[in-house]
Amino acid sequence: MHRSRVYALLIDTPGPEAAAAASFWAAALGASAVPVPAEEQFTSLHGAIPGLVTAVQSIDDPNPRFHIDIETDDVEAETARLLALGATQVSRWLECRVLRAPGGHLLCVLPVHSTPAVFNAGARTWS
């Protein structure tokens, strides 16, 4: 048995356009655009979607897209669950798994990043 929840919505933007995209989305969503010092490819859109981390991610791909991050207390079990539902594994990055859902959308499965209280309040239990 393991638990997981949607942790983040990422607005993947080609690198040269990331700053303009962060400014746009911050204004459009009524959020504050704050660069993430430890992870320079991310600009947090603090307060954009209550209860959900929202950020612009600078990517080395010319194709903009959106993707979600799912946090879990068992990355292997959650990855296996999503693969059984029809996702395919694209790559691994550190402790994260990058998957492609049916329909072509990307998603990442990562270890719990939120506080225990937030994770416990929103996580679903899977067997």
For the range 76-82, what are the long-range contacts, defined as Cβ-Cβ under 8 Å and sequence gap of 24 or more? 77/2, 77/126, 78/2, 78/4, 78/109, 78/126, 79/109, 81/2, 81/126, 82/107, 82/109
Separation between Cα atoms, residue 68 and residue 70, nearest integer Å: 6
pLDDT at position 68 is: 98
> One digit per residue, pLDDT tens: the chain, 127 residues?
999 999 999 999 999 999 999 999 999 999 999 999 999 999 999 999 998 999 999 999 999 999 999 999 999 999 999 999 999 999 998 999 999 999 999 999 999 999 999 999 999 999 8
Q: How many Å is the maximal CA-CA distance in the chain?
A: 43
pLDDT at position 125 is: 98
Q: Which domain holds residue 35?
A: 2-126
The model carries a pTM of 0.92
Domain count, the chain: 1
What CATH number does the domain containing 122 carry?
3.10.180.10
Q: Are 84 and 76 a contacting pair, CB within 8 Å? A: no
pLDDT at position 64 is: 96
